[in-house]
Amino acid sequence: GDGQHGARNNTLQAGMLAIGGVQQDFQSLVLACNKDGMDALRQGQSNAAFEQFKYAESILIANQAEGDNTNLLAVTCNNLGCYYKKVGKFHGALSYLRRALKMEVELETDEVTVAGTHLNICAILSKLEKHEKAVQHALSALDLIQKRVNGA
């Protein structure tokens, strides 16, 4: 489909960026891949989505020396988690979402985002029949939202 074409264009861009050595541009490319990936996922194009997310992940890995991109990695892991959840690969989803959660907490990401990650993990644990663990994540999400409401 057209998802592959998009990934190829991104590859060309990334190649040019590598030559230019511009840091900020690879970050915009990662964000663009994540956005395109989420759009594809919403439209049911899961293969195209997966390519975009994995490409974003590989750009981040290739640019590890370029300073701290934990926030972009957290977004990418979260999206990969959503992808795996959507295609029914729950263990893969859990592994990416747990990585995302750890980074989000370290970064002190806003409560609503962290709560959303907890709820995604909760839903997957439920599907895996791990209901007690699922409840813990649901309660964590609730706690974060209450903090947000009371702090407002």
pLDDT at 1: 46
Do the beta carbons of residue 119 and residue 111 sit within 8 Å? Answer: no
pLDDT at 38: 97
One digit per residue, pLDDT tens: the chain, 152 residues? 444 555 555 555 555 555 455 556 889 999 999 999 999 999 999 999 999 999 999 999 998 877 789 999 999 999 999 999 999 999 999 999 999 999 999 999 999 999 999 999 999 999 999 999 999 999 999 999 999 899 86
For residue 145, what are the CA distances in angstroms to 11, 41, 95, 129? 39, 27, 24, 25
Domain 68-152 has CATH 3.10.20.30: no
pLDDT at 83: 98
Concatenate the DSSP letters of all residues of 61-130 into one string: HHTTTSS--HHHHHHHHHHHHHHHHHTT-HHHHHHHHHHHHHHHHHHT--HHHHHHHHHHHHHHHHHTT-
Q: Per residue in 121-130, is it b (16+ CB within 10 Å) or e — as a string?
A: bbbbbbeeeb
7: tokens are: 């990934």
Domain boundaries along the sequence of the chain: 1-67, 68-152
